[in-house]
Structures are given as structure tokens and as C-alpha cells.
Amino acid sequence: MIAADPALSRVWNALPDARIVGGAVRDSLAGRAIADIDLATPLPPADVIAALKRAQIKTVPTGLAHGTVTAVVDGRPFEITTLRRDVETDGRHAVVAFTSDWRQDASRRDFTINAMSMTRDGTVFDYFGGRTDLDAGRVRFVGDPATRIAEDYLRILRFFRFQARYGRVAPDDATLQALHAGIPGLGRLSVERVWHELRRILAAPDPAEAIRLMRTLGIWRAVAPEAAADADLAALPADPVLRLAALLSGDPLELATRLKLSNDDRDRLVRLATTPPIRGSDADLRRLLADRRPEDLIDRTWLDGDEAARQRLTVMKRPVFPLEGRDAVALGVPPGPSVGALLREVRQWWMDGGCVAKRMACMTELAQKADLPKITANR
């Protein structure tokens, strides 16, 4: 039970009229793991801060303009936001005013399953049928879908994120029309926020149906046109970059640039797109392992649906070429470009042989290619 959480109990002792809101209520009712716990209160931010300080709870003014204070208990953050009503919206950000009306605050939330609140004794306040929708697997906007989307176009992508995780029934016609009509508004969103939502969609256990609907409505092409391929995403680990690679139909670097992926995600996406299928003998696999990251090869087997190759790679030790530049110099090769050239030749010989030649054999080959005296085993 959420109420049994000792850190949360300290916050509730300081703010007895506060309620848990949003995702924690939804996931508690759905029997799912709860990540973060957010609360709301009719108290203005200054009173919230004062009450927390009296309880000797650390406070961080994370968003006072929007009424949000973060309480930190035993290293855990709890966001506490004063009840709000929208004064003005511009399609992404809102100007708000504080209120003491719980229903009015709930009415500005995106979906009914996110608009519920829960008191300390477990009483759930559900003004818009969120519990029924959650039980039915229905993702439904609070009020008019077009109005909710016009307030914040990110809600288009958020809809599909929740549809991928909670949706079991198709959205109604009004919702479909509003989602499609809102496509031009996606261009007003920051690319970072777009990728943040796409990443969470791709991380769902099976996002295929949600992505199919995004394609049908033209939303997917608006945000990720280079990722239009079909793929069995449920057969892949819930890894957003791996699944994005499975959907690639265009230039991976162009897609990474469009979505402003991190350098690590960008480089991984490009490597996944350019890693060849894992086929051939053990010698072929060793050659691949010698030249590529083992994790990229494992990822490739997921993209190819090749469990046998994945098992072979999992137990295979990555071969490492046993020579360095100093070995050539020690044999008498003059320092300089010739050292690198000779090592490349010997490494290619080592690769051609299946990456199994030991250090002594490689040294002998190096001496031969450098036209040096034959070396002995104890040298």
C-alpha cells in the first residue's frame, strides 16, 4: 500500500490535506509498479514550504511559478503542486492561477486515467470516469479531445504512450479526428520532447499497435519518417534504440539528427544499421568480434531474429590481436609509419586465419613480412 510508505508518511504528516495525484494513483489501481509519487494540495506554495520546514523536511523550489515544490525525504523526491487552473495556453505552455477546487485542477489534466487523486486513507476521487476507463483499457481525454490537444500538442504523443501501455480498446472517432488534426502542432514542440515521448512509446512491452495507429493517422511520418519499416517489436527487448533500428527505412544519421539523439544513441543507431547479419562459421564470428563491439553483434541477432547466432556469440570470447607497435620495434623495425603498416598486414593474416594465431606465430609472421631474421620461441 502506498500509505505504508514511511517517507510519504512524513510528507503527509506535514501536509494532511494533500492527495496523491496522477500516475501513482493510476498504477496503484492497475496493480503496477509505482515509479514516482506526486502530490497536490490546496495550500499555496509558501504555506507548503513553511509546513515542510516545520516538519524538518528538505524543500527545493523546483517550479514556484507553477506552484511546485519538491520535498526530499531520505533522498527521495516528492513533487507537491498547488491546485491550479489554466488562465492561458499556447499549445505547449500554460499560464496558471492557483485554486482550492480539486475538480477544477483535475479538469486540466490530459487523460481520465491521469486525473484521479487519492487521500491518505486510500479514498480515490475520480471526477471523470478514470477508474472505469483504466479497467476497460481505454485512454480517453478529459473533456473535448481537440481542446485538450490545442492546450498542449505534446499530448498527441502522450496519448500514444499511454495507449501503448494501457490501451486495449481503439479510440473513438472524435479522438482520432483530433489527433490527426493536431499534426501541424507537432512542429511547435522541441525535438528533445518529441524523442522523449517516442522513446517511452518504444519502451512499452508491445508498442506495435500504437505505432500502427500513429502511421495510419500520419503522426509517425511527421516525427520519424526515416523509421517507417514494419517490425515485430514485441519480439525485441524493450530497448528504444534497438527498436528504432528495427524500424529504420531511411538514413539512420538523418533520423538521429532529426530527433537530436544523444551522441551515444546516435552512434549506436548508426552502428546497428551498418552491422552485417551474423552468419557463417565460428571463424567468421570471431572475425566480426575482433572488429566490432560484441553488444552490437548481439543487437544484430535480435534484429535478425537469430537466436542461434546470439547463443553462439554469448559464449564466444572476443579475440584480441596479440601484437602492438612495441613488438615490431623490439624485432628491429625502425619506428615510424612502417610499424603500423606491418602490424596491419599481420593483423589481416591473423584475421584470415580465423583470429586463432597466438602471439609467437604472429611474431614469426611479423618477422617474415619485415624481412627480419627468423625468431625463436624463447625470444
The CATH number covering residue 64 comes to 3.30.460.10
If you count DSSP H runs as helices and E runs as strands, how many of each does the chain have, helices first? 20, 9
Mean predicted confidence (pLDDT) in 201-206: 96
Q: Are residues 299 and 331 in the same domain?
A: no
Residue 54 in this model has a pLDDT that exceeds 50: yes
Q: Are residues 311 and 333 in the same domain?
A: no
Q: Are residues 298 and 350 in the same domain?
A: no
What tens digit of pLDDT does each residue of 285-332 get? Answer: 999 999 999 999 999 999 999 999 999 999 999 999 999 999 999 888
Residue 88 in this model has a pLDDT that exceeds 80: no
What Rg, from alpha-carbon coordinates, does the chain have? 29
Predicted pLDDT at 72: 96
Predicted pLDDT at 290: 94
32-36, 109-113, 134-138, 175-179, range with the lowest pLDDT: 32-36
SS3 143: coil
CA 149 to CA 152: how far, in whole Å? 5
**Which triple of cell numbers denotes residue 70?**
519538491
Q: Are residues 88 and 107 in the same domain?
A: yes
Count of structural domains, the chain:
3
Predicted pLDDT at 377: 41
Q: Per the domain annotation, does 379 fall within a domain?
A: no
Q: Per the domain annotation, does 120 fall within a domain?
A: yes
Q: Are residues 284 and 364 in the same domain?
A: no
Identify the domain containing residue 299 by its residue range: 275-315
Q: Are residues 70 and 26 in the same domain?
A: yes
Backbone dihedral angles phi then psi of residue 340, each to the nearest 5 degrees = -60, -40
Predicted pLDDT at 4: 72
Q: Are residues 279 and 365 in the same domain?
A: no
Residue 73's CB is within 10 A of a number of other CB atoms, namely 19
- The mean predicted confidence, pLDDT, of the chain is 93
Last residue of a domain, one of 120, 136, 152: 136
Q: Which amino acid is at 122?
A: G
Predicted pLDDT at 379: 46
Residue showing cell 482550492: 100
Each residue of 85-109: b (16+ CB within 10 Å) or e? Answer: eeeeeeeeebebebbeebeebbbbb
Last residue of a domain, one of 110, 136, 162: 136
Task: Pinpoint the alpha helices (H) of 91-190.
Answer: 102-107, 130-136, 145-151, 154-166, 173-181
Q: Are 227 and 205 in contact (CB under 8 A)?
A: no
Q: Check residues 332 and 133 and name the one with the higher pLDDT.
A: 133
Residue showing cell 502511421: 215
Q: Are 143 and 176 in contact (CB under 8 A)?
A: no
Q: Are 82 and 40 in contact (CB under 8 A)?
A: yes
Q: Are residues 282 and 365 in the same domain?
A: no
- The pTM assigned to this predicted structure is 0.86
Predicted pLDDT at 3: 62
**Which triple of cell numbers denotes residue 26?**
493510476
Share of the chain above pLDDT 90, in %: 86
Predicted pLDDT at 35: 86
Model confidence at 89, in pLDDT bands (50, 70, 90)?
A: low
Q: Are residues 62 and 15 in the same domain?
A: yes
Q: Per the domain annotation, does 217 fall within a domain?
A: no
CA 195 to CA 157: how far, in whole Å? 10
CA 183 to CA 268: how far, in whole Å? 29
What tens digit of pLDDT does each residue of 93-102 get? Answer: 667 788 999 9
Q: Per the domain annotation, does 106 fall within a domain?
A: yes
Residue 43 in this model has a pLDDT that exceeds 90: yes
Q: Are 158 and 179 in contact (CB under 8 A)?
A: no
Predicted pLDDT at 378: 44
Q: Per the domain annotation, does 227 fall within a domain?
A: no
Q: Are residues 91 and 132 in the same domain?
A: yes
Q: Per the domain annotation, does 310 fall within a domain?
A: yes
Q: Are residues 279 and 345 in the same domain?
A: no
Q: Per the domain annotation, does 195 fall within a domain?
A: no
Cα angle 366-368-372, degrees, rounded to a multiple of 5: 95
